Amino acid sequence: MSLIDLMHKRTAVGVFSKTTDSAFVEAAGYAGLDFIILDTEHGPASLETLHHHVRAAKLTAMQAIVRVKGVEAHAIGSALDTGAAGVQVPNINSAEQAREAVNAARFHPHGSRGVCRFVRAANFGDQDKANYFQEANQAVVVLQVEGLEGVRNLDEILDVPGFDVLFVGPYDLSQSVGKPGEVDAPEVVSLMQDIARKASAKGVLLGAFCDTPSNAKLLRKEGFQYLAYSVDINIYLEACKQVKEVGDE
């Protein structure tokens, strides 16, 4: 089942990944996560590492999504060339940027993504060309709205065709309202709710980051179907703290 089909049935749950060790990615898949966001905006993974991460995810049923650094056609195309199930583009502030991102992620007639079929996504040229281009255009495209400018232009962004999920970054929203890190601040919660209402009215799937069970519950209640829960390295760190407590008892 595709990630989009899954989200129409239930909430998809995943994590952000900031590791360079593909064993973490593989383990996340065996744990049963629906997706993992391989983060190149705030993470250290190189393009070569992304190829290994995507391969590790494909050993499981988990879908790999690559978050690129921004709206840049070459980076978006390269991320999808790895064979990732989709791409996540941060800092979308206008409908023009949204169209640029979609255009970079889709082949003709839905975009102008750079063409090379001798890439991992096309089995290094072994996949039938017509099938490859058709299947590639089914890749998940996630657009992130993270600041007040994007919120002001939200109606126009939501009308851009060709993307699948609108992702809201609560930490960046908190920064934009002058309360960095205060993701539970009334101003941030109100913005999240307004975004959810507008997206739902236009039939657009919603995603967000959360790092507490209570926030995850609230987001699900608001209709968010793509939840990225915390970061793999931090999850490991917290688990190690629990191990340490065994010796302290």
Catalytic center residues: 42
Element (H, E) at 36: strand 35-39
d(CA 86, CA 25): 16
d(CA 6, CA 27): 21
SS3 122: helix
d(CA 98, CA 189): 24
Q: What's at 183, amino acid-wise?
A: V
| Residue in the structure block whose two tokens are 């199930």 | 85
d(CA 110, CA 118): 21
